Amino acid sequence: MLNKKRNLRLMAGIFIIGIVCMFEYAELSYEDVLRLVTFARKRPANDKSRSCTTCVTGWMNDMWFTKRFQPSVRPLLSKRNCMLSENTYKWWQRLQYVTRRANYTKVVKELFQIIPGKDHYLDGGSDRCRVCSVLGNSGNLLGSHYGDQIDSGDCVIRMNKAPTKGYERDVGTRTTHHIFYPESAVNVSNDTNVVLFPFKTLDLEWLMSALTNGTIKRTRENVPARINADKDKVMVLSPAFMRYVHTSWLQNKGVYPSTGFLALIFSLHICDKVNVYGFGANRNRVWHHYFEPPPKNFRLNVPHSVSNEYSVILELSKRKKIQLFTGI
């Protein structure tokens, strides 16, 4: 019994020394260390109950990752977290200016009368190993023959247009989550989860309209008046999460994150193992969608910091937080 107590004291002493060293030499804040301790308790180091040999949250010794990844930030809007801070609201309202203005609080209240307002993906822990396939739409998917591998994920996350018909061998056929914003919306099957990425309050109004009476047919451009989707499977990305991605992961570079980069960080928060496909240029260094011919004169003129986003993706791959498949 005495030996057991002595060992416990010794382990506690080593732990405290380690914490002091992290403060002193790794330039960690109190919040950083708190996140380390919290996640250590959630996912024991010796846990072998599931098949994930490498998990997103296996990052106890990775200071680069802990500086960026904030597990307390909830990715999706719910009735409990839909109120935004003043700074977040102002940042979000500047992303895409439209003349039509609406009361955000009123719109969200009406929205959760149409779609579920519950919290999603609170099932994380040592007994879960959710493997996700996250698909961008890069032309480097053509000829890759990744289809079966993509479809083997527990979750298959596609975004924007992302057609599968005619491209099955390279991009697969399954879709569990389809991400879009109004200007890139498509119809989905009733067994597919929809995740709307809203860049303005009007996007939330459009979602309500598209699921009900179809009165909104234009935002910044013409949009589908209605979409085919199961209302009970519709979710909305939180503007607070979008701002967190912009500040914590991209250090405020670019006007706002791209849909693809938001989707990737979203997957880090809801998945335990993340396989990434269809990001970056093709082998000829041309950026284009797999379902469109390569442009003759390509100019990258977008509000996103594409080079910075891709450098973060490469760093995540290097640190084994994701597995990146670069196609051909």
> Could you give the residue numbers annotated as active site?
256, 304
Say how far apart CA 202 and CA 221 lie, in whole Å. 12
- CA 59, 304, 63: angle at the middle one, nearest 5? 15
- What residues are paired with 275 via a beta bridge? 133, 323
Cα angle 96, 99, 103 (rounded to 5 degrees) comes to 85
Q: Are 43 and 120 in contact (CB under 8 A)?
A: no
Do residues 70 and 248 lie in contact, with contact meaning Cβ atoms separated by under 8 Å?
A: yes
The residue assigned the tokens 């693809």 is: 260
* CA neighbor of 270 nearest in space, from 174, 170, 195: 195
Q: Are the C-beta atoms of residues 151 and 174 closer than 8 Å to each other?
A: yes
Q: At what angle do helices 259-270 and 306-318 cross, to 10 degrees?
A: 30
Among candidate residues 200, 196, 195, 225, the one with its CA nearest the CA of residue 210: 225
User: Number of helices (H) and strands (E), helices first, in the chain?
Assistant: 11, 7
Range list of β-strands (E), the chain = 131-135, 155-159, 177-180, 193-196, 234-236, 273-277, 323-325
| SS (HEC) of 252-304 | CCCCCCCHHHHHHHHHHHHCCEEEEECCCCCCCCCCCECCCCCCCCCCCCCCC
What strand order describes the sheet that includes 273-277? 234-236, 193-196, 177-180, 155-159, 131-135, 273-277, 323-325
